[in-house]
Amino acid sequence: MAKFIHKPQGASIAFMVAGAVWFVVGALYGMVSAIHLVAPEFFSNIPWLVFGRERPIHVNTMLYGFVGTMLIGSGLYYVPALLRTRLWSEPLAWVSFLFWNATILSGPLCFSFGYTQGREYSEYVWLADVSLMIAVTCLIVNVVMTIANRAENHLYVSVWYFTATFLWTAGNYPLGNVMWHPATGAMPGLIDSIFLWFWGHNLPGLLITPLATGAAYYVIPRTTRTPLNSHTLSLVGFWTLVALYTHIGGHHVLQSPIPNWLKVVSVTDSLAMIIPVSIVVLNLWMTARGYGGRVWKDPAARLVMGGVVWYIVTCIQGPLQSLPYLQPVTHFNNWTVGHAHIAMLGFGGYIALGTMWHVIPLITGRRLYSEKLVSLQFGLITFGLTGFFLVLTAVGLVQGSAWHNGETVYRVLPELAPFYIARAALGVFILTGSLVGLYNVMMTLRRGEELAVEQLQRAEEAA
């Protein structure tokens, strides 16, 4: 047992495998959500599968379980690799793995039976919040000590993003989840919406985004075998991200009586997000300029660059829907649901999967069991997610336009049915993609062809 715990990069592999498992679990619950919207009576008299209980399981499992877990696993490999040292403590990494996944597991176990704090993106019960904070603290200590014991003087931007993710989360998560009120996890009255959306937007912005951006900055230069276009530009993007993103959660409650100054700051910073996004996208594209063939031929890098493309779409749509003029049509309907899917599954999920496929051979010394299955997963998820985006955007505009013009809800519902049927059908492709990925991961670990010593040495030197 001790030998297993101390095995180099063991926790990194465990995080990535757990991410692949949680992807399947989250996608299954997503299919249940889609079926509910088509046939609400399908799961009749099954309390733990009612929509209000299983939807939070889907959302939190995909965010923390799939995307977050997989990106943490890849970072626990590439950070020591970039620093030319070993992770400071494998046992501590395993402690973080156990507490992080205990938090995610609490979702299906607690939400199914009505134990929740009932706040969107902040549903975990207080003990699960504590578990997550223990995991984050362990990760901070481990990464900081790895940096302190590094052999490489230069701190590449991926190290900046990975380290800062947990420092930001340690500060933001307790505030947004109101952890000093264990009984409710909430503030009284309207003020709670400000606390809620402080974390509700910092979850994708200062947890998932820096993890995904750091991973992309690692994979793309390695695939193209060229230096990063501009390290200085990458750090400008890093600091503008934290300077602007922290304040934008208020644009979710513009139609409530929160302070006007907060509304102005939220909308202004939402629009200003074009700065860090443009920096990341242009820096990566300029890095890959002239070497697009290498990216396209590498199935892992193809997924990562696909995530960068979804990042562009997400950050065009996001600032636009924050405008008060457009919100009466785009808010509180499926337009926002479509936006959330391309942000987390498109941007974060693609990069998480691509980085995992890139890193696993470097850790295990084995080729991927099947690159064709990686390409199949890419195709399945791309077809399903693109359809999701189009269908949910269209049905959101139907809802928003009808309600904005005074139509009653029940008269609009029949118009939504075809869109919901299409959504459920498209979900089959995403669920299948998750199953294909899990199968490929397990087969790579068990039967992947061993790389030659020379190939391993070259890969490690390139890392």
Number of Cα atoms under 13 Å in the Cβ half of residue 406: 0
pTM of the complete model:
0.95
Domains and CATH numbers, the chain: 2-462 (1.20.210.10)
Q: With the C-alpha atoms ordered 383, 389, 394, 398, is the resulting torsion angle positive or negative?
A: positive
Q: Which residue has the higher pLDDT, 84 or 2?
A: 84
Average pLDDT over residues 302-314: 96
Six-digit token pair at 64?
């923390």
* Least confidently predicted of 102-111, 137-146, 256-265: 256-265
The pLDDT score that the predictor gives to residue 462 is 53
Average pLDDT over residues 332-352: 95
pLDDT digits (tens, 9 = 90+) for 383-442: 999 999 999 999 999 999 998 899 988 899 999 999 999 999 999 999 999 999 999 999
Q: How far is CA 390 from the centre of its chain?
A: 20
Contact 22, 61 (CB under 8 A): yes
- pLDDT bracket for residue 1 (50, 70, 90): very low
Q: Is the pLDDT assigned to residue 325 strictly greater than 50?
A: yes
Six-digit token pair at 152?
């490489």
Give dist(CA 144, CA 104) in Å, integer.
25
pLDDT digits (tens, 9 = 90+) for 200-234: 999 999 999 999 999 999 999 999 999 999 999 99
Helix axes 350-364, 409-447, angle to 10 degrees: 10
Contact 306, 219 (CB under 8 A): no
Q: Is the pLDDT assigned to residue 261 strictly greater than 80?
A: yes
